[in-house]
């Protein structure tokens, strides 16, 4: 399969099926300029199509995870006193990233190695897991420059931590440290800086050996549950279980259970 | 009426180049099969499709027909190469839409099972069917405007009847694609299911219809389609005559008798 070359991110597929995507503009705290956002969209599409990818581990190079939109980037800078078209920038660049993270049918783990601000925080919220370093922090900085939180933040954050807390974080734009993030359920685990990547790779490696198809169906189920009534959802769930029941991994899972051994899932 | 046309014995289901066909549980299944071209519709494909549909229409063992593509595309449009250098006279002489007129005359119910792209002629082919089951991944659209033409196989008429003037106008004038969920909400299609199940869902619908008395099914299809051609007055007249006519069928006797005897009917198609 044709592989793209990336310049502003690192795309490394390990032999165990874990794909590491590292945002790589460390001198800018990995802020999104046009190129990085388009490369991330392409990387996620490629990961979705490549059957060898069983789990995605997203992180940032250097001391930050992602500082969000690069305010000096040409697509949003204000020139000649005219307003930039932020709506179009969001539709073309951030909407596809968030939508793909939520709908691509493989687990996505985010290793938050440092500050995650603005759209950088939103990208972390859209992942399936957030593992944070002790020095990591989240800032919904939009309000500080007079903008509304974007990249799905107002949809995702209240679902992660509740409306009251989400409102607080987004209205004040205050910084949330790793300890508070753990306490309010914004991250799943916190590790010392030096062991974050080792722990994250270990965890992603475990997910890479899991029933990938079932993980994908699980994401489909949770996404559907957010948008429909109970009865519609229950019918949908029956369809998904019908599909899961036909997978090779289900056969393997049942055999392993009966034979009292660990299952060897192929992801199919 | 059937005597002049080719009938059940003189067709080899395996001989087609652009379609795959099979028969199971009284349903005929036709799969468009130009996977390297996203099932783009060309004249030879339409010729085979119409030949097969005509045969299935006359085969009494088949009571409902499912038309499908593959997971990536039902049909991504017409073969543009065929038309790029054509003159109006070429198009008149080619008379490609004659095949579409023939599909409209098929008596047995047609269920389209759609996944991936149903664009241009693909969308029109789907709308020529009587019911549509779609995968969540299906994408519909009439993008002909982008090539300097308009839908030519019924798109402006059938889409408008299905989704209303304002929506159809926007879709045909912009060429914008729309999702299965939108198609469902607008009344263009019957059901949306996960991609793994769309063909099975369509077959299940076809099997349910195949279990009904075939002559009544045929009258019902004709009556519903009549809506689009006539005033209410003549549509009601048509329906009433079809209703009375069914009292001449053995299946009507069996259906009503079974109902009164509280048992399942056994329909013979007579």
B211-248: pLDDT as tens digits: 999 999 999 999 999 999 899 999 999 999 999 999 99
The reply to whether residue B196 touches residue A243, judged by beta carbons under 8 angstroms, is yes
Q: Which of B194, B200, B204 to mutate to test the interface with A (most CBs of A within 10 A)?
A: B194
CATH class of A9-208: alpha beta
Residues forming beta bridges with residue B132, ordered by sequence position: B112
Distance from CA of B193 to the nearest CA of A (A): 8
The reply to whether residue A243 touches residue B193, judged by beta carbons under 8 angstroms, is no
Contacts of B173 (CB under 8 A, 6+ apart): B145
Task: Give the span between the Cα atoms of A173 and B197, in whole angstroms.
Answer: 45
Task: Give the span between the Cα atoms of B54 and B108, in whole angstroms.
Answer: 10
Task: Supply the pLDDT for residue A5.
Answer: 87
Distance from CA of B197 to the nearest CA of A (A): 8
Produce one character per residue of A45-76: b if its CB has 16 or more CB atoms within 10 Å, e if not: ebbeeeeebbbbbbbbbbebbbbbbbeebebb
**Tokens encoding B261:** 């005897």
Mean per-residue pLDDT, B184-209: 97
> pLDDT of A203-230, one tens digit each?
999 999 999 999 999 999 999 999 999 9
Task: Supply the pLDDT for residue A77.
Answer: 65
From-to residues of CATH 3.90.226.10 in chain B: 19-210
Task: Supply the pLDDT for residue B5.
Answer: 46
B196 reaches A (C-beta below 8 A): yes
Task: Supply the pLDDT for residue B158.
Answer: 96
Distance of CA B211 to the CA centre of its chain: 19
Task: Supply the pLDDT for residue B266.
Answer: 93
Most distant CA atoms of chain A, gap in Å: 72
Q: Around Cβ A241, how many Cβ atoms within 10 Å?
A: 14
Q: Indicate the CATH number for domain A212-258.
A: 1.10.12.10
Residue A170 pLDDT grade (very low, low, confident, very high; cuts 50, 70, 90) = very high
Mean per-residue pLDDT, A175-203: 97
Q: What is the ipTM of this complex?
A: 0.81
Q: What residues of chain A lie within 8 A of the CB of B179, using their CB?
A: none
Q: What residues of chain A lie within 8 A of the CB of B194, using their CB?
A: 220, 236, 239-240, 243
**Helix ranges (DSSP H) in A150-229:** 153-161, 163-172, 178-183, 196-208, 212-225
CATH superfamily ID and name for B214-260:
Lyase 2-enoyl-coa Hydratase, Chain  A, domain 2 (1.10.12.10)
Of A68-72, A261-265, B44-48, B98-102, which gets the smallest average pLDDT? Answer: A68-72
Mean per-residue pLDDT, A135-152: 94
The set of catalytic residues of B is 78, 121, 124, 144
Burial class (CB in 10 A: 0-12, 13-18, 19+), B92: exposed
Task: Supply the pLDDT for residue B2.
Answer: 40
Q: What residues of chain B lie within 8 A of the CB of A243, using their CB?
A: 194, 196-197
Distance from CA of B196 to the nearest CA of A (A): 7
CA nearest to B198, candidates B62, B69, B33: B69
Task: Give the span between the Cα atoms of A138 and A169, in whole angstroms.
Answer: 9
A10 reaches B (C-beta below 8 A): no
Task: Supply the pLDDT for residue A80.
Answer: 64
CATH superfamily ID and name for B19-210:
2-enoyl-CoA Hydratase; Chain A, domain 1 (3.90.226.10)
**Is the confidence at residue B9, as pLDDT, over 70?**
no
Contacts of B157 (CB under 8 A, 6+ apart): none
Q: Is B215 strand, coil or helix? A: helix
Task: Give the span between the Cα atoms of A8 and A5, in whole angstroms.
Answer: 10
**Tokens encoding A180:** 């508070």
The reply to whether residue B197 touches residue A220, judged by beta carbons under 8 angstroms, is no
Domain ranges of chain A: 9-208, 212-258
Contacts 24+ apart (CB under 8 A), B221-225: B221/B107, B221/B108, B221/B109, B221/B130, B222/B107
**Phi and psi angles of residue B30, each rounded to the nearest 5 degrees, phi first:** -120, 125
Task: Supply the pLDDT for residue A82.
Answer: 76
């Amino acid at each position: 399969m044709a592989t793209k070359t990336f310049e502003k991110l690192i795309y490394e597929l390990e032999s165990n099926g874990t794909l590491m995507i590292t945002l790589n503009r460390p001198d800018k705290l990995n802020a999104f300029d046009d190129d990085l956002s388009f490369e991330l969209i392409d990387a996620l599409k490629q990961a979705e199509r490549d059957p060898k990818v069983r789990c995605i581990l997203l992180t940032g190079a250097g001391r930050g995870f992602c500082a969000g939109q690069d305010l000096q980037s040409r697509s949003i800078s204000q020139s000649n006193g005219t307003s930039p078209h932020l709506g179009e920038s969001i539709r073309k660049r951030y909407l596809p990233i968030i939508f793909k993270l939520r709908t691509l049918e493989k687990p996505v783990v985010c290793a938050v190695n440092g500050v995650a601000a603005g759209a950088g925080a939103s990208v972390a919220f859209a992942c399936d897991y957030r593992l944070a370093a002790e020095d990591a922090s989240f800032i919904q900085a939009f309000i500080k420059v007079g903008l509304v939180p974007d990249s799905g933040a107002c949809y995702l954050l209240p679902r992660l931590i509740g409306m009251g807390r989400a409102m607080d974080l987004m209205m004040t734009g205050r910084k949330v440290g790793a300890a508070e993030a753990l306490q309010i359920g914004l991250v799943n685990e916190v590790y010392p800086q030096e062991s974050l990547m080792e722990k994250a790779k270990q965890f992603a490696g475990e997910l890479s050996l899991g029933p990938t198809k079932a993980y994908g169906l699980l994401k489909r189920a949770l996404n559907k549950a957010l948008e429909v009534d109970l009865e519609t959802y229950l019918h949908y769930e029956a369809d998904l279980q019908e599909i899961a029941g036909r997978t090779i991994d289900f056969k393997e899972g049942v055999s392993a259970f009966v034979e009292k051994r660990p299952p060897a899932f192929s992801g199919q | 009426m059937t005597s002049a046309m080719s009938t059940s014995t003189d067709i080899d289901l395996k001989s087609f180049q652009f379609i795959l066909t099979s028969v199971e549980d009284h349903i005929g299944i036709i799969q468009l099969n130009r996977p390297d071209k996203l099932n783009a519709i060309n004249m030879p494909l339409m010729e085979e499709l119409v030949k097969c549909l005509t045969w299935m229409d006359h085969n009494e063992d088949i009571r409902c027909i499912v038309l499908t593509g593959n997971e990536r595309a039902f049909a991504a449009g017409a073969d543009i190469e065929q038309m790029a250098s054509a003159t109006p006279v070429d198009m008149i002489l080619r008379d490609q839409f004659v095949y579409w007129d023939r599909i409209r005359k098929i008596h047995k119910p047609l269920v389209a099972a759609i996944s991936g792209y149903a664009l241009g002629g693909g969308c029109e082919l789907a709308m020529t069917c009587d019911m549509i089951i779609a995968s969540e991944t299906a994408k519909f659209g009439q993008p002909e405007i982008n090539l300097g033409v308009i839908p030519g196989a019924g798109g402006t008429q059938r889409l408008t009847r299905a989704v209303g003037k304002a929506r159809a106008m926007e879709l045909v004038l912009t060429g914008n694609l729309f999702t299965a969920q939108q198609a469902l909400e607008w009344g263009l299609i019957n059901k949306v299911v996960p991609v793994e199940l769309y063909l099975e869902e369509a077959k299940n619908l076809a099997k349910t219809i195949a279990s009904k008395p075939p002559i009544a099914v045929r009258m019902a299809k004709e009556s519903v389609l009549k809506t689009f051609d006539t005033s209410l007055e003549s549509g009601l007249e048509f329906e009433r005559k079809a209703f009375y006519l069914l009292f001449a069928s053995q299946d009507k006797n069996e259906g009503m008798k079974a109902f009164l005897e509280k048992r399942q009917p056994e329909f013979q198609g007579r």
